[in-house]
Amino acid sequence: MSTQAPDIEVRASARHALGMPVAAFLRHYWQKQPLLIRGAIPDFVSPLTPDDLAGLACIDGTLGRIVRFDRRRNRWHLENGPFAEARFAQLPKRDWTLLVQDMDRWDPEVRALLRLVDFLPRWRVDDIMVSYAAPGGSVGAHVDQYDVFLLQGLGQRRWQIDARPNPPLAFREDAPIRLLQQFEPSHEWLLDPGDMLYLPPGVPHFGEAENDCLTFSIGMRAPSAGELLAGFAAEQALKLDEELRYADPDLAPTEDPGAIDHAALTRLRQTLSQAMKLDDAALGDWFGRFLSLYRAAERPRPRRISPAQISGRLEREGILVPAASVRMNFTTDGAGRGGATLHGNGESIPVTLELARLCTALNCQIDQTCYAGLDEADRASVIELTRRGWLSWQ
């Protein structure tokens, strides 16, 4: 059995966009070690220009930031959008970066880049952040607690990473963003358009623009244990039977009335375990609704619309697509009966498995032909999803 360490740099092929079979990537790299993939998208042409990104950063509802670095004073500056158009004309010729989150919701061509990670569960994907950097632009040496795929879209960016075990992770206290006090790179690369760098959680990295460049960052969702526990407990606490309480029918005489002994802690653990017991269906329902709200920037408003209005608009070549502000996922009934529960906007709705897959597909489009091919129950579900704002007109 070979003990040779997997390569840290590979070249993609027409057959393998990751430079290897997906199973090999998941086995050797996913959440384990970094990988540079040369030519992940051959002859890649960015779907956005820097002007496109700047224009979007001026719109209410977008999550934009400008990070500037003062080299002379070694100081970092952060500005949050939306920005006035005139702001970009005031910026220097170098050493600044514009970052805009959730670009997959604003631009269908950017969203199409998610096909690069279609081997992962869709709910694991958080968003595609797009960053423009002037020459020398950077956000400093930092570390993320989630997986990220960094696709070079325009120009060149130099990436340095520290892939050694147990790198220093102390943060600077004088910066408005979480930057590392120390950073010593173990690897360095210059990425061209179409190259992609995968980083698992916890790997320090530093990227700096060689020239005007765009980078597409496909980030994964990684709720912390604290976030999961807080969300789960907040909902379950409202449903618990008042009769489920700490109990000690096996209590023995105590020698120290002020002490919480080991037996009490054991009973406490048993009480909490009973309170948190859920079968797979109930746990899946909660988790699906939790994910549909996790880091959601906004929530859609319900609307009044009749079946006749939907049919009429579809007949006039209207197309329904998942709303940009809604994160949908689904769980199955587990019984093989073709049923599913679709989660979105913190809510759940029972649908068929066919419709659940359709609504969560990367290229979901419901036109007149598609709608007519659905059975009566699914058409009723489409109407309900449109009323809830989970589906909207393209």
Complete DSSP assignment for 366-379: B-HHHHHHS-HHHH
Predicted pLDDT at 300:
79
Rounded-to-integer distance, Cα 23 and Cα 162, Å: 25
Predicted pLDDT at 2:
46
Q: What is the DSSP letter of 142?
A: B
Dump pLDDT digits (tens) for 135-186.
999 999 999 999 999 999 999 999 999 999 999 999 999 999 999 999 999 9
Question: How high is the mean pLDDT in each 10-residue block of the chain (394 residues)?
Answer: 72 96 97 98 96 95 95 96 96 97 91 95 94 98 97 98 95 95 97 98 98 97 91 86 91 92 94 87 92 78 89 93 91 78 94 95 93 93 95 91
**Based on C-alpha coordinates, what's the Rg of the chain?**
25
Do 220 and 126 touch, CB atoms closer than 8 A?
yes
Q: How many residues does the chain have?
A: 394
Predicted pLDDT at 3:
52
- Nearest of 132, 212, 202 to residue 161 by alpha carbon: 202
Predicted pLDDT at 296:
67
Predicted pLDDT at 237:
86
Rounded-to-integer distance, Cα 214 and Cα 211, Å: 10
Residue whose tokens read 């670009």: 103
Name beta bridge partners: 180. 171
Predicted pLDDT at 4:
62
Predicted pLDDT at 336:
61
pTM recorded for the entire structure: 0.90
Question: Residues near 42 by Cβ (< 8 Å), separated by ≥ 6?
Answer: 12, 194
